[in-house]
Amino acid sequence: MLSCGKEMVALHPLSVSELTNQIKAALTQPALQSVAVQGEVSNFLHHRSGHMYFSLKDTHSRIKAVMFRGRNQRLSFTPKNGDTLIALGSVGVYEPNGEYQLYVDMLFPQGIGDLHLAFEDLKAKLEAEGLFDPGRKRSLPLLPRRVGVITSPSGAALRDILHVLRRRHPGVNVLLFPALVQGEEAPESLVRALSLAQNTDVDVLIIGRGGGSFEELAAFNDEGLARAIAQSDIPVVSACGHETDFTLADFVADCRAPTPSAAAELVVPLREELLAAVTSMRNRMVSALRRRIESERRYLGQLQHSPVLARPEHMFRQRRQRLDELWTSLGRFQRSALVLRRGKLAAAVGKLESLSPLNTLARGYSVCQNERGEIVRQAKQVSLGELVYLTLQEGSLSCLVEERKP
One digit per residue, pLDDT tens: the chain, 406 residues? 455 554 555 567 766 666 767 776 766 676 677 888 988 888 899 999 999 999 998 878 889 999 999 889 888 888 888 888 999 998 888 888 878 899 999 998 876 556 677 788 899 999 999 999 999 999 999 889 999 999 999 988 999 999 999 998 888 899 999 999 998 999 999 999 999 999 999 999 999 998 877 778 889 999 999 999 999 999 999 998 776 668 899 999 999 998 999 999 999 988 777 788 888 899 999 999 999 998 888 888 777 777 666 677 777 788 888 888 888 888 888 888 888 888 888 888 888 877 777 777 777 788 888 888 888 888 888 888 889 888 887 888 889 888 888 7
The length of the chain is 406
Q: How far is CA 391 from CA 367, 380, 388, in A?
A: 5, 20, 10
Q: Which stretch of DSSP H or E encloses residue 159?
A: helix 156-168
Segments in 170-267 forming alpha helices (H): 186-197, 223-230, 248-252, 260-267
Please check whether residue 257 is in contact with residue 266, taking contact to mean a CB–CB distance below 8 angstroms. Answer: yes
Instruction: Return the exposure string of 106-145: e unless at least 16 CB atoms fall within 10 Å of the residue's CB, then b.
Output: bbbbeebbeebeebeeebeebeeeebbeeeebeebeeebe
pLDDT on residue 153: 93
Q: How far is CA 149 from CA 75, 132, 161, 163, 245, in A?
A: 30, 22, 9, 13, 20
CA dist., res. 99 & res. 277, Å (int):
65
Question: Looking at the DSSP assignment, which residues form a beta bridge with residue 240?
Answer: 209
pLDDT on residue 406: 74
pLDDT on residue 51: 94
CA dist., res. 42 & res. 17, Å (int):
29
Please check whether residue 392 is in contact with residue 366, taking contact to mean a CB–CB distance below 8 angstroms. Answer: yes
| Residue 202 DSSP code | -
pLDDT on residue 163: 93
Which of 120, 106, 138, 136 is closest to 38 using CA atoms? 106
pLDDT on residue 202: 95
Sequence-distant (6+) residues with CB within 8 A of 22 are 14
Which of 232, 168, 227, 222 is closest to 200 using CA atoms? 232
pLDDT on residue 66: 94
> What residue ranges in 82-151 does DSSP mark as E strands?
84-94, 99-109, 146-151
Gyration radius of the chain's alpha carbons: 52
pLDDT on residue 248: 93
CA dist., res. 315 & res. 306, Å (int):
11
The sign one gets for the Cα dihedral 376, 379, 381, 387 is: positive
Say what the pTM is: 0.50
pLDDT on residue 15: 66
Question: Looking at the DSSP assignment, which residues form a beta bridge with residue 175?
Answer: 148
